[in-house]
Chain A
Amino acid sequence: MTVVIGFEGSANKIGIGIIRDGEVLSNPRRTYITPPGQGFMPSDTARHHRAVILTVLKEALEQAGLKPADIDCVAYTKGPGMGAPLVTVALVARTVAQLWGKPLLGVNHCIGHIEMGRLITKANNPTVLYVSGGNTQVIAYSERRYRIFGETIDIAVGNCLDRFARVIKISNDPSPGYNIEQMAKKGSQYVELPYTVKGMDVSFSGILSYIEEAANKMLSSGQCTAEDLCFSLQETVFSMLVEITERAMAHCGSQEVLIVGGVGCNLRLQEMMGVMCQERGAKLFATDERFCIDNGAMIAQAGWEMFRSGQVTELEDSWITQRYRTDEVEVTWRD
């Protein structure tokens, strides 16, 4: 029996989760939400995390009904992500690991998402679309690495959506992406936007500039509504994601797709991906907001896999890093 506690706080969510042999015992989380029109800055986010992290840690232990002695390993997000929030979380993880006398494990955030997706959906060997505010990658497993087949060459799709939400000043509660999704359902006019797939990769910064300008012009002249723009943006960027996912599937001969990351909560994205999968006779896997959105249990799960295959992080090597490629990690727990 192996029990792992996982600490996650690379963006504006701070979550701590406990997993015992594939069972999620607890997974409390808090989100730092900024006023409409504002994004979250590193030092403010870190301050938010510092204020709540010990409370969330207590909740994680209490909800799991465990004492520190019951934990076998302390996992935390080594990267990628925002520097100050990552440090905040790593400090607590390192301290409790020493206080409790437990080994420490630095986990790659992207791999946390993948391993949680695999655990929850039981997908066998899927092509993974990882889409969030900070990352956009198409990943497939091959020979002990999660290989990046395609990715954004500039900003993440979630970043594009979040920054557009700021332009039209919609609420960031519970998340800007969720509110864009709700507004898109009420859109009726399709506004043509640039479509930028570059081979296996995608680009979103041009679409963002275009729609920011379009919003200013078209909304004030009444040519379209904010709902129409939300609808058009989703249709465009999600089509691009479906295209590069399909391209990777064709390369790998894969019959499974797994969507992970916060943007994976979006039901329209799931719907569009589902249509493509059906056309190819493939199966689509996705998780709900408990596990799509950044959470501690996903770090615990990746940590569980790593720990059981013999990995450990020494304290001197436990520094956090803002840049950490998914394919840098040796996937020792798979063949």
Chain B
Amino acid sequence: METDGETNQESGKLESLDVPFPSAREASIALRSLSPDREPRKGGITKHLTVAGSTLSRWSADEARILRVSVNSFLDHLKLVLETMEMFGPPVDL
């Protein structure tokens, strides 16, 4: 997995985190697994997941420490989804 990010140290913004996938279908599966749950913290964090082709992108903007927690959780969750896809994939034909 490669990640590509820009960070703004002063206000704690992460503009984008791009994750490449082998196919659009697998990027879409990851998106639909990762997007339903709400962020545990009520205020001060916004997370946005989208898929463009076979890349899953994520923006979040906020205080550095809240950002750190949110991004760390996201990466743990992403890793789990990727491992699941590796062990039980490829997706069946619809």
Give the B-binding residues of A (Cβ under 8 A).
Answer: 46-47, 50, 53-54, 57-58, 68-69, 83-84, 87-88, 90-92, 94-96, 98-101, 315-320
Contact = CB atoms under 8 A, between A and B. Distances in A.
Contact of A83 (B35, B40, B81, B87): B40
Contact of A95 (B29, B35, B73, B76): B29
Given A50-B76, A91-B77, A92-B80, A99 B37 contact: no
Interface in B53-94: 73, 76-77, 79-81, 83-85, 87-92, 94
B92 to A, nearest CB: 5
Contacts of B90: 99
Contacts of A95: 29-30, 33, 81, 84-85, 88
A42 to B, nearest CB: 9
A200 to B, nearest CB: 33
Given A88-B80, A94-B33, 20 more contacts: A47-B76, A50-B76, A50-B80, A54-B87, A84-B73, A91-B33, A91-B77, A91-B84, A92-B81, A92-B84, A94-B36, A95-B84, A98-B33, A99-B84, A315-B33, A315-B36, A316-B36, A317-B36, A319-B36, A320-B37
Interface residues of B, number: 26
Interface of B: 29-30, 32-38, 40, 73, 76-77, 79-81, 83-85, 87-92, 94
Nearest to B84: A95
* Cβ-closest 10 pairs across A and B: A94-B33, A319-B36, A95-B84, A98-B29, A101-B92, A95-B33, A315-B32, A318-B36, A99-B91, A319-B37
A95 B33 CA distance: 6
Contacts of A317: 36
A54 B88 CA distance: 9
A315 B73 CA distance: 20
Given A319-B37, A320-B37, A91 B29 contact: no
Contacts of A90: 36-37
Nearest to B77: A91
A87 B77 contact: yes
A320 B36 CA distance: 8
B92 A99 contact: yes
Nearest to A88: B80
A137 to B, nearest CB: 25
Given A50-B80, A91-B80, A96 B88 contact: yes
A250 B36 CA distance: 43
A99 B29 contact: yes
Contacts of B91: 98-99, 101
A283 B46 CA distance: 54
A91 B89 contact: no
A99 B87 CA distance: 11
A184 to B, nearest CB: 38
A87 B88 contact: no
B32 A94 contact: yes
Given A54-B87, A68-B88, A83-B40, A98 B80 contact: no
Nearest to A46: B76
A94 B73 CA distance: 17
Nearest to A49: B80
Nearest to A43: B73
21 contacts: A50-B79, A50-B80, A68-B88, A91-B33, A91-B34, A91-B77, A94-B32, A94-B36, A95-B30, A95-B84, A95-B88, A98-B32, A99-B84, A99-B85, A99-B90, A100-B88, A101-B92, A315-B32, A315-B33, A316-B35, A316-B36
Given A315-B32, A315-B36, A319-B36, A96 B80 contact: no
